[in-house]
Each structure stands twice: as C-alpha cells, then as structure tokens.
Amino acid sequence: MSDSPILALRRANKSFGVAHVLHDVDLSIYAGQVTALVGDNGAGKSTLVKAIAGIYPADDGEYLFDGKAVSVTGPKDASSLGIEVVYQDLALCENLDIVENMFLGREMRKGPFLDETTMERKAREVLASLSVRTVKSVRQSVSSLSGGQRQTVAIAKSALWNSRVVLLDEPTAALGVAQTAQVLELVRRLADSGVGVLLISHNLTDVFQVADRITALYLGHVAADVSVKDVNSRQVVELITTGTCADLDLSSSPSAPAV
C-alpha cells in the first residue's frame, strides 16, 4: 500500500446559502484501506460524499487524485477517475436480473444487439473475484434477493468497472446479523483487492470490525483522522458528540473549533 492517498480533499468548503456545511475539510482515502467516515446527523457526511462524487462540488479547496489536482464538477468527472458510489437506497431495479442491474446504463453490445454472453461472464467473474457465494445465479431477479444479497450486488456492481475508489453509504443499515457479516467481509475483500474504500456508517461495531482508519466529522469540521488501532469506541463517540476527546492525542489531526 502506498503512503500517499489515492484520493484527497484539502481545505474543502461547502455552503448552501448562509449555511456553511463543510469547513476546511481534509480527507484522505488510501488504496487497499477502508476509511470510515463517522459523525452525528447533520455533521456533513452526506455533503462530503456528494462533494467527492461531484454532485455538490466543493466551493473551494483542492481535490487531489493520485497526488494531482483535478477538477470534479459533476458525477461524470468522478466516474471517469474510477470513483463509484453505492448509496443507501442501492439504486437497483427490482424487475431486472443481476446482470441487467450490473450493466444498467453501461450495456455491452455486439453490433445492434446486447452482448448478453459477455455481460453474464463478466458479472460472474467479478462476483467470483470478491468470493461472493450467496448468489445462486446471475440471472436471478433482484426482487428475489435478500437485503444482504442486494447490497452484495450493488457493491459488486461498483467493482465491475475497475473502480479505484468506492464510497459506501451505510451498507449494513437494516440488515440482520448474518447479512451484516457477509457484507462487511465483502467490503474487506474489496479493499484487499487494492480499492480505496470510504465507509459511511453509524454502527461503530461495524467500523471497528472492518476499517483501517476513522475520520470523525463534527458540525462540518474534521474532529480527528486516526488509525483504528489508536482509538476505542468511547473515544470515537466523544469525538462524534463533542468534536474533541480529552484523553486522545490529536496533535497530528485536524480539530474542530472549541465549543
């Protein structure tokens, strides 16, 4: 793994009218690592993810990819860099099968016809590369899948396009214990394949199980950016709720303003 982040935001700001949502935010995502983005409701997590995805481009600051400044003014710019987003609603079509969902809007063709054989083969290959064993057939209708299987399909879809960064928005929300374990294993395998993963989650148990680093947001400020091995759940809760932690050395991390 490189010591340099594959994707980084530096001093990013975002306002909506008089509401200043992101304040000089620094964020780093590393290839082969899971970075967990945590924060209370209203901390700015969704806005930050949408800034990375080009939906709400930052008002100022630097957007770096592979160490070079890039301009991301829309989702196509982010997609062209190899950035994929799996939103909480998954954006899957229940009336289509797994192959049709994975290639939706990016269908492969052979002349005027869809190249069903190649798409089916590629869908199987990416599921196999992530060691997905819970899906019986790539021709299953999404409506027949469990919540965990649907999440698996959505994550595999993001990996299909040789993505380099994947943003996962609450991937275990509303899942049972067994399904959550399966999804977290998949997230870990995705990172182990060399992808940089940003995991947005309220569930600290999930975060400590799968993440390498934690970036905590508090009222639009980065309260801390720390290695998982250097903190415990109580300290992270304190960062989320107060923006600081009395017994945590944050000298090398950005910090929220005094409250």
pLDDT digits (tens, 9 = 90+) for 104-116: 989 999 999 999 9
Q: Tokens standing for 165?
A: 């960064």
Residue 89 has pLDDT above 60, yes or no: yes
Task: State the average pLDDT over residues 233-257.
Answer: 80
pLDDT computed for residue 259 by the predictor: 42
Residue 251 has pLDDT above 70, yes or no: no
pLDDT computed for residue 1 by the predictor: 52
Question: What is the per-residue pLDDT across 183-232, written as a single tens digit (0 to 9) for each?
Answer: 899 999 999 999 999 999 999 999 999 999 999 999 999 999 999 999 99
CATH topology of domain 7-242: Rossmann fold (3.40.50)
Instruction: Decide: 211 and 205 in contact? Cβ < 8 Å.
Output: no
Question: What is the per-residue pLDDT across 162-183, written as a single tens digit (0 to 9) for each?
Answer: 799 999 998 888 788 888 888 8
Instruction: Decide: 223 and 23 in contact? Cβ < 8 Å.
Output: no
Tell me the C-alpha distance between 224 and 66, whole Å: 23
Question: What is the per-residue pLDDT across 98-149, written as a single tens digit (0 to 9) for each?
Answer: 999 999 989 999 999 999 999 999 999 988 888 888 888 999 999 999 888 8
Of 59, 67, 29, nearest to 167 (Cα)? 29
Tell me the C-alpha distance between 77 and 71, whole Å: 8
Tell me the C-alpha distance between 34 and 28, whole Å: 11
pLDDT computed for residue 131 by the predictor: 83
Domain spans of the chain, in order of start: 7-242
